[in-house]
Amino acid sequence: MTLPLADTSFAEASWVLVVKSLVIFAVIFAIVPVLTVIERKALGRFQSRYGPNRTGKFGLMQPLADAIKLIGKEAYRPQNALPLLWALGPILVVFSGVTVLAILPWGDVQDVGSGPVGLYGIDVSIGILFFFAFGSFAFYGLLLGGWASGSKYSFLGAMRSAAQLISYEISMGLALLGAIMMAGTLSLPGIVEAQDEIWYIVPQILGFLIFMVAGFAEANRAPFDLPEADAELVAGYQTEYGGMRFGSFMLAEYLEMVVISGIAATFFLGGWMGPGPGWLDPIWMLVKILSLVFVFFWVRATLPRLRYDQLMSLGWKVLLPLATVNVLVTAVLVTVL
């Protein structure tokens, strides 16, 4: 029996890898600031108002203004914070988001003259485990940042984020397990190729829903934004941060949304699959990611924040059993059929 590990059958020149990383980095970091303004505008429309529309045409310069304001702020550190760990928090959070971008598949292997090039950062053999390994890094950032701030609000926010991670990471992994079993591979490009006939959202609709719900929790988004809980905890783990350190947390939150949407698009929406020639693949992937990010905004505009015990019982009593049943049924069906 062979382990379901990915194998890259070709080697890429190192300069290709450098170019690929730069392009992915540049594209995503161009999209993330735009997402902030799109979110605020979408939230506005959901609430029958405009949202930001004063800075530049249609308010599109808003992220620039925000960035200038954040960078211009004094780097202030509370007296009882632990300097090193405190500074490490936002770095870790952004680091985890950026790393996962490497495995998002943006397209099939293309021949670009000098040999085949996969339109993704890397095709790692552990595939989705990479996502879980580095995705969970973000919580070290939140936990360290919240604890090292030396403030009770930050500490409470950090504790909540830790509890939330434990509750939802499992359901998230189990939700993906069904798709992995159907594809028979851990490699993300492999999983996309396995959806040639039918997107996994159809047979794995339950897995998709569980993954998205757990994804809201993982990205600390409403209705699971308890670690921030601005009504009770000021701003949770980011209370004591200001300027671009706070900006890094916000950046990471949006990055995380993109990453989770990307994983969901890869596993359930057929990744880069779509009509048109091969060079359209990244566009299709982007369209799918942005639609899923829009769902994040939509849910945020709709649902109120859960109470803490509701969060826990939803995670352990609803999502986990459902995900387990989903995995069991899929396993049986995959073996029988």
Binding site for another protein (CB under 8 A): 42, 44-50, 298-299, 301-303, 318
Distance of CA 263 to the CA centre of its chain: 7
Minimum CB separation of residue 1 from another protein in Å reads 38
Angle at alpha carbon of residue 7, lines to 176 and 12, rounded to 5°: 115
Residues whose CB falls within 8 Å of the CB of residue 59, separated by 6 or more in sequence, listed in order: 37, 41, 51, 52, 53
Task: Pick between residue 29 and residue 50 the one whose CB is nearest to another protein.
Answer: 50
Task: Pick between residue 105 and residue 223 the one whose CB is nearest to another protein.
Answer: 223
Task: Pick between residue 81 and residue 314 the one whose CB is nearest to another protein.
Answer: 314
Task: Pick between residue 65 and residue 206 the one whose CB is nearest to another protein.
Answer: 206
Q: Which of 150, 285, 164, 294 lies closest to 218 in space, CA to CA?
A: 164
Distance CA 225, CA 218 (A): 9
Task: Pick between residue 283 and residue 290 the one whose CB is nearest to another protein.
Answer: 290
- Alpha-carbon distances of 170 from 88, 204, 275, 328, rounded to whole Å: 26, 17, 35, 15
Task: Pick between residue 9 and residue 48 the one whose CB is nearest to another protein.
Answer: 48
- Alpha-carbon distances of 225 from 17, 217, 248, 292, rounded to whole Å: 36, 7, 17, 18
Minimum CB separation of residue 295 from another protein in Å reads 9
DSSP assigned state of 110 = E
**Type of residue numbered 298:** W
Minimum CB separation of residue 301 from another protein in Å reads 5
Minimum CB separation of residue 48 from another protein in Å reads 5
Minimum CB separation of residue 51 from another protein in Å reads 8
Minimum CB separation of residue 325 from another protein in Å reads 13
| Tokens standing for residue 200 | 């996994």
Minimum CB separation of residue 231 from another protein in Å reads 19
219 phi and psi, to 5 degrees?
Answer: -85, 5
Task: Pick between residue 115 and residue 321 the one whose CB is nearest to another protein.
Answer: 321
Question: Directed axis angle between helix 137-148 and helix 243-268, to 10°?
Answer: 160
| Tokens standing for residue 192 | 């996309």
